[in-house]
Amino acid sequence: MLKDLIDESWYKVFTETEKACLEEKFSTIQEKRNTQEILPYEGKNSGIYHALKITPFDKVKVLIMGQDPYPNKDDAHGLAFSKLSGKIPASLKNIFEKIKEDTGVNNLSGNLTPWAKQGVLLLNRALSFSKEETLASRNKFWLPVIDIIINKLINRKKPLVIILWGNPANDIEQFSFEKEEEYKKNNIYILRSSHPSNMGNAKNSVLKDGKIGAFTTTPNFCKTNEILKSLGEKEIDWRT
């Protein structure tokens, strides 16, 4: 079952125990779908593990951590911040405004699949959305899977830029401030800022007593490409 849901490169690096974990979580979601709507739906361009399907393990060079899928079926498709079509959500609109400021690119489509195909893993902390469950309970449910994915990436000894927006992403254990210098020895760099959301003026907020700058004043996208170029990696084309 799992082999059909994720790219072969991910399937090969997961241990049997890790595969069993991912399969058990997916089976639980499928069972819950008998009594409640859980997003994203499973389909050709959508699914719980869609990020692992479209971005091969060995091709990942940027990791962007999101929170959870959009709360409606027309938007959620398994890539953090991405939606297949229609009106662009506020957070993504702010992301696009920052990209234009950083790089000059003017995006009109909210579908971030072109990023994913270049090696940008768009990973939500909670891989599912349900009106029946709180975000905290969904985060707890998916934590073992997210830990498996993150640990695979930081231990593979390949260049990686990790982009963290907001307190929840910056509080992930593997991404503590204390580990940053050690990661740099393995060409892993962490870029931090507040969340691009308009809620509570998050996009303009400063976090962790000033250690983390506001999203609107942090050049995430051009800085990512500067790092990739310095490591001999192809830069990301931020066009959608």
Mean pLDDT of 53-79: 95
Q: Tokens 């994915």 belong to which residue?
A: 149
The pLDDT of residue 103 is 94
Residue-averaged pLDDT of the chain: 95
Residue whose tokens read 């993504």:
92
**Domains, the chain, ordered by start:** 2-230 (3.40.470.10)
pTM (predicted TM-score): 0.96
Given the residues 58, 68, 74, 75, select the one marked as catalytic.
68
Cα distances (angstroms) measured from residue 58 to each of 212, 218, 239: 30, 28, 22
Q: What is the pLDDT of residue 110?
A: 96
What is residue 201's predicted lDDT score, i.e. its pLDDT? 85
Q: Is 49 a residue whose pLDDT tops 90? A: yes
Tokens of 155: 């231990």
Q: Report the distance separating Cα 206 and Cα 167, nearest Å.
A: 10
Q: What is the pLDDT of residue 165?
A: 95
Q: Clarify whether 68 is annotated catalytic.
A: yes
42 vs 85: which has the higher pLDDT: 42
Is the pLDDT confidence value at 157 over 90?
Answer: no
CA distance 146 to 18: 11
Average pLDDT value for residue range 160-185: 95
Which one has a higher pLDDT value, 114 or 168? 114
The pLDDT of 29-51, averaged and rounded, is 96
Q: Please state the rounded mean pLDDT for residues 190-203.
A: 92
* pLDDT at residue 35 in the model: 95
| CA pair distance 149, 128, nearest whole angstrom | 16
| pLDDT computed for residue 1 by the predictor | 87
Is the predicted pLDDT of residue 86 greater than 90, yes or no?
Answer: no
Question: Looking up tokens 């231990």, which residue turns up?
Answer: 155
pLDDT at 84 (0 to 100): 87
**Does position 142 have pLDDT exceeding 90, yes or no?**
yes
